[in-house]
Amino acid sequence: YLSLLYVLGIASQPVMGLVSDRIGRKWVLVPSFGIMAALYLAIPYSGSGLLLAVVIIGLGAFFYAILNITQTAIMDVADDSVQASTMSAMGFTSLPFVIGSPFLAGYLVDRYGIEAAFIYAAAAGAAATLVMVCATVTLACRFNALNARTKRLLWCCAPETQLVELDWWYWG
């Protein structure tokens, strides 16, 4: 079953990245976190057959891509001069959760049974969904040359990943 998680994760990352580039990071992250929360909740009730395989495949579609899209959203929001610092701060602030979660999940399993670990994972996914619903994700303002042949410039300051093409404005 674990290989299903990896196989679909490999396939879904470029697709979800492309979708997030087209419609916006938040529009991909919110449903992804929510669906993952529901799928974590479904694991203990799916048995060991085909239904479990379907749930694991569903998790694989989101599991690996979410980290990449979340990091990209942070890079979108951060100004060019502080992107590395922002990523470092994100890594540092998430460290207590990364280190503490296995211990908490282990305690919950010892105390309440294996289902509690999946309920905990679902609660974490639901919390991430809520945070993303409340978050404001906008791009830092900057000019980017889109295509040297067409001489188009993009002004990246619109909400999410909506870009405004400035065909009429060209800086040699």
Summarised one tens digit per residue, pLDDT across range 59-100 is 999 988 898 898 888 888 777 788 888 888 888 888 888 899
In eight-state DSSP terms, residue 171 is -
Cα 6–126–29 angle (5° rounding)?
A: 60
| Whole-number pLDDT of residue 73 | 85
Question: Strand 142-147 to strand 164-166: parallel, antiparallel, or no bridges (unpaired)?
Answer: unpaired
| pLDDT for res 139 | 57
**Reduced to 3 states, what is the DSSP secondary structure of residue 135?**
coil
pLDDT band at 155 (very low <50, low <70, confident <90, very high): very low
Question: Counting beta carbons within 10 angstroms of the beta carbon of residue 161, is it exposed (0 to 12), middle (13 to 18) or buried (19 or more)?
Answer: buried
Q: What is the pLDDT of residue 38?
A: 97
The C-alpha atoms of residue 6 and residue 142 are separated, in whole angstroms, by 36
Q: Are strands 142-147 and 152-156 parallel, antiparallel or unpaired?
A: antiparallel
pLDDT one-digit tens code per residue, 4-52: 888 888 889 999 998 988 888 888 999 999 999 999 999 999 988 899 9
Q: What is the mean pLDDT of residues 97-115?
A: 95
pTM of the model: 0.75
Whole-number CA gyration radius for the chain: 19
User: C-alpha dihedral over 139, 8, 39, 51, to 10 degrees?
Assistant: 160
